[in-house]
Structure 1
Amino acid sequence: MRRSQFWAGLIAPLIAYSGILTAIYVNRSWWRLTDNAISDLGKVGLQHNWLLNVPLVLTAVLAIYYAAGLLEKARNKVEKIGIWVFIAGFVFLALIGIFPEGTSPHYYVSWGFFLTASLGLLIAGVGMGLAGEREMLYFTVALFVLAWILTIWAMRTFKGVAIPEFIGAIAITVWHYAILLKIKPDQ
């Protein structure tokens, strides 16, 4: 993995969360964590929708570049397939910013992000386990199961989907940084 890919992976989530938090702050007069979706902050016609949409696209581009470096480090087909599915999740993340709420593909690309990114990390984690990293396998499976249990609970508990979305995004971010901590970038 190139040093630039490592740094892209390091800063990508920070850009996403900075954009989300800035958009929440700007729209705090009407946006509620328990009643809305994160995507409401980027919907078509909203004055400052770019505060969410631009960082999501930028994050996706950086994350894809980073994940391409992960492919070089993959040790088996299962791990590679998982990383490719994880990359597909980031393509969907970019599409969330390109097709914001209020466009017909938005619902599908939003679900696409959460499903493919979480499935990709699970498959990659299984591949890591097959390569001998048992603790990464156990961590990945535990994180995946816990995130889905909490997400389903939150979807049944709250009117909006922002809390389930944050649960999914945070789980993806935690796994991402756990992987990043193990990587030593090339010079």
Structure 2
Amino acid sequence: MRKSQRLAGLCAPLIGLGGIFIAIIINRSWWSLTDNAISDLGKVGLPYNWVMNLALIATAILSTYYAIGLFGELRNVVEKIGAGVFIVALLFLAGIGLFPEGADPHYYVSWGFFITGSIGLLIAGLGLWLEGRGNIGIFTVTVFVVAWILARWALGNFEGVAIAEFIGIFGIIIWHYTVLWAKFYKTEKQRKN
């Protein structure tokens, strides 16, 4: 994998979260974590909706570039299937920015991102477990189960869906950085020693 692809993998989630948090600050007079969806920050007709939408598109592009490089590093078919499903999730993420709330396909691309993103990480984690990295496999299943339980709880306890969405996003990001570190940076240190 090229260094630029690893750098893209490191930066992409930060760009997405940065765009979301800047959009929250811009819209703090009316947006609420408990009463809204994250997508409300990018809805059609909202001034400065491009702040979040462009950040999501940039995140999807950088993450896809990283995932393409990841394919060359993966050793088994299950990992590759998981990465492929995750690339589909990234296409849905770009779709959230391209078709913001108020555009017809928004509902479908939004759900598509969360479902394929979590399933992709679960499949990739299973592949890592099959590769002999049982600790990452257990961590993956734990992140998947805890995120889904907490997101389900949030959906039942709050008017809006933003908390459930953030739980899903942070689950994916925590898993992403853990695997990135364990698979590449930790392995690189071991090679040097």
TM bucket (normalised to shorter chain) is over 0.9
Number of positions where the alignment pairs a residue of Structure 1 with one of Structure 2:
185
Report 1:162-177 matches (<5 A): 162-177=162-177
Between the aligned partners of 1:139 and 1:71, the Cα distance in structure 2 is: 21
Between the aligned partners of 1:69 and 1:167, the Cα distance in structure 2 is: 27
1:87 corresponds to 2:84: no
Aligned to 1:142: 142
Structure with higher RCO (Cα < 8 A, 6+ apart) = 1
TM-score with structure 1 length normalisation? 0.97
Displacement of 1:73: 1.1
Displacement of 1:69: 1.3
Aligned to 2:128: 128
1:97 corresponds to 2:94: no
1:55-85: CA deviation from partner (whole Å, max 9, x where unpaired)? 0000000000001111111111111000000
Displacement of 1:112: 0.3
RMSD, aligned α-carbons = 0.8
Aligned to 2:32: 32
Q: Which segments of 5 or more consecutive residues in structure 1 lack a partner in the other structure? A: none
Aligned to 2:151: 151
1:43 corresponds to 2:33: no
Q: Which segments of 5 or more consecutive residues in structure 2 lack a partner in the other structure? A: 189-193
1:18-55: CA deviation from partner (whole Å, max 9, x where unpaired)? 10000000000000000000000000000110011000
Between the aligned partners of 2:99 and 2:119, the Cα distance in structure 1 is: 22
Between the aligned partners of 1:91 and 1:40, the Cα distance in structure 2 is: 20
Between the aligned partners of 1:116 and 1:95, the Cα distance in structure 2 is: 13
Displacement of 1:179: 1.4
Name the % identity: 60
1:20 corresponds to 2:37: no
